[in-house]
Amino acid sequence: MPDARERLERLIELAGESTPEKQRALAFELCDLLVDWPGRYPVAMREPFEALLEKVLRRLDGATRRMIAARLATHPETAVTLLNQFYLDMPVEVRTGILARNANSTDAVPEETGSVDDRPLIDAARHARGSELAAAFAQFLGVSASTARRILDDSSGNALAVACKGARIRRATFSALALLTLPDVRANPSVRYLRLSAFDEIPQSGADTMLDFWRRTHQNDASFEADEQAA
């Protein structure tokens, strides 16, 4: 078992490499550290390691993300912001716990009232497909096109329900979107029912905080890209 100094040197070495193999190794090293946090390490030290893992995760393939997510999601010490990075990679039963963590977080977004004009979304869902629909959905929500694509591709309807509820989209509009964006139009009635019922299972405060996280991630990524281009 490497000591603290050797472990830190290993992490620094991997962090300095940009190849997919090294980034993957770094992610697993960070995951191992956070899951088996040494008792002699101050709890306050977790935050920079979690922030580094959050950054690395964005560069990894889906299979690796799911493996790491499965380990971290079972640990109550895992920061909710890190769990949010995994949300779209996890099964619905794990997402329920993540939403509950968001709802109870000290960073929870204050609940807003009122509704929005969501008619343009229905029009887009009726007439657009693929990347065009994802772009329209992303613009409406204020999230990245890749996040919008993953939300729309979620066959359970859970991610769509979270996005719609967080954006104050009406229940009737969600139902229309859920059917118009159903991946398999030949889905049996039970699949359609589960997709439509997802909206009612989502806590409002959890949806608010998750959508805010997706929006801030998009803004941060856009700022990072702008800085990179200006450099």
- What pTM was computed for the model? 0.81
13-16 contact pairs (CB < 8 A, 24+): 15/52
Tokens of 230: 């200006």
187: Cβ contacts below 8 Å, ≥ 6 apart: 195
Tally Cβ neighbours within 10 Å of residue 185.
7
**For residues 148 and 141, is the Cβ–Cβ distance under 8 A?**
yes
Tally Cβ neighbours within 10 Å of residue 32.
13
Per-residue pLDDT of the chain (231 residues), as tens digits, is: 566 667 777 887 888 888 888 899 999 999 998 998 888 888 888 998 898 898 888 888 888 888 898 888 888 889 898 899 889 999 999 999 999 989 887 666 666 656 678 888 888 888 888 889 999 999 999 999 999 999 999 989 999 999 999 999 999 999 999 988 886 656 677 878 888 999 999 999 999 999 999 999 888 766 544 444 444
Domain ranges of the chain: 4-78, 119-224
225: Cβ contacts below 8 Å, ≥ 6 apart: none
The span from the CA of 64 to the CA of 49, in Å, is 18
